[in-house]
């Protein structure tokens, strides 16, 4: 389909308003979807990062607690009071 001028192309035989409005609404919807996808990606990556940091903290706390229990157990076995109680 060829048009005689640019204004005839924009007018689209009297249907230009509806055609261009539909293009505009479609582009707006696609833009909103793209923006929301980028925003959700950031939110998801932040949540994953927080969860990984939480797991690292929990693992470090467990390791620290285990080493404290082991050291206190070793100290308790090596204390002179326990030696006296054995005799």
Q: Contact at 8 Å (CB) between 44 and 37?
A: no
Write down the pLDDT at residue 65: 75
Q: What is the pLDDT of residues 32-85, one digit of tens each?
A: 999 999 999 999 999 999 999 999 999 988 888 777 766 766 666 665 555 555
Write down the pLDDT at residue 80: 58
DSSP H or E segment with residue 29: helix 16-78
Write down the pLDDT at residue 2: 80
More confident residue, 23 or 66: 23
Burial of 74 (0-12, 13-18, 19+ CB in 10 A): exposed
Write down the pLDDT at residue 74: 67
């Amino acid at each position: 389909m060829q048009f005689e001028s640019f204004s005839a192309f924009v007018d689209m035989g009297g249907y230009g308003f509806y055609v261009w409005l539909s293009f505009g609404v479609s582009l707006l919807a696609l833009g909103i979807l793209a923006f929301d996808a980028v925003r959700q990606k950031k939110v998801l990556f932040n949540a994953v990062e927080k969860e990984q940091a939480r797991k690292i903290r929990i693992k470090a706390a467990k390791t620290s607690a285990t080493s404290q229990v082991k050291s206190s157990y070793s100290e308790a076995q090596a204390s002179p009071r326990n030696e006296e109680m054995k005799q």
